[in-house]
Amino acid sequence: MHVLLVEDDDAIAAPLAKGLERQNFTVHREATGLGAVAAAAGTPSPNIVLLDLGLPDIDGYEVCRRIRASSAVPIIVITARGEEIDRVLGLELGADDYMVKPFGFRELVARIHAVTRRVGAQEEPEEPIVQLSGGFTLDRRTRRLTHDDTEIVLTRKEFDLLALLATDQGATHTREEILEQVWDSNWYGPTKTLDVHIASLRKKVGDPGLIETVRGVGFRLRTTDGSSPRSDS
């Protein structure tokens, strides 16, 4: 597995790279944000990106945004910034996981494997094209959401969240189920990030009623024929 390590601190990057190589990862290290963006688009393409936020040229958030604009490669943010707003922003920009320094090396390896397994499973859907209420079309193969042939650009997590709800339209998915399947079974970050992603999805599709809130339980998609009960939101 090819890892792109984006870390400007040699004292952190060197032992981390050596540890990953001992675990049979191939590691390419970049110390700048611009170098990371170029490496993510280069050859060989990375299987996962480990991204520090405090970089000397452009902020790690901007690196995440630029990589996500053209690539679905999994991104794990590794940073000393542990505030909830930092976590939410990183995830909103398309990161798949968020780890605060200092962290355990074994946990990092476990999270790398968890993220790549989850992404791999999502890249092979049984039914790629799903028609949603309101004239929306979800294409799991190309990871695109369209309405009247116009694409609605979603972040990785926004797409994964909508795709999960679309697996059984009208069925209620609990908050715990969504966090486990879209984020991680060992997710310890703020649950508020789910509400942030739901709000962003509703805004982007321009149809707030497409995703219904089941108060105290979770969320569901409005059924195609519009027969789903009225949202509690």
pLDDT for 154-181, tens place per residue? 998 899 999 999 988 888 888 888 887 8
CA distance 62 to 43: 21
**Whether this model's pTM surpasses 0.75:** no
Contact 67, 50 (CB under 8 A): no
Contact 6, 56 (CB under 8 A): no
Partners of 152 in beta bridges = 145
Contact 186, 114 (CB under 8 A): yes
Query: Best-predicted range by mean pLDDT among 3-17, 77-91, 112-126?
Result: 3-17
HSE on the CB side for 190, CA within 13 Å?
A: 16
pLDDT of residue 201 exceeding 90, the answer is: yes
pLDDT of residue 128 exceeding 50, the answer is: yes
* Residue entry with tokens 């009623």: 209
Q: Which domains does the chain possess? A: 2-122 (3.40.50.2300), 129-221 (1.10.10.10)
45-95 pLDDT tens trace: 899 999 999 999 999 999 999 999 888 899 999 988 878 888 788 888 888
Higher pLDDT, 127 or 55: 55
Residue 15, classed as helix, strand or coil, is: helix
The least confident of 12-21, 73-82, 121-130 is 121-130
Rg (CA), the chain: 18
Angle separating helix axes 33-40 and 60-70, nearest 10 degrees:
20
Exposure of 60 by Cβ count < 10 A (0-12 exposed, 13-18 middle, 19+ buried)? buried
pLDDT of residue 116 exceeding 60, the answer is: yes
pLDDT of residue 112 exceeding 80, the answer is: yes
Mean pLDDT, residues 180-199 taken together: 72
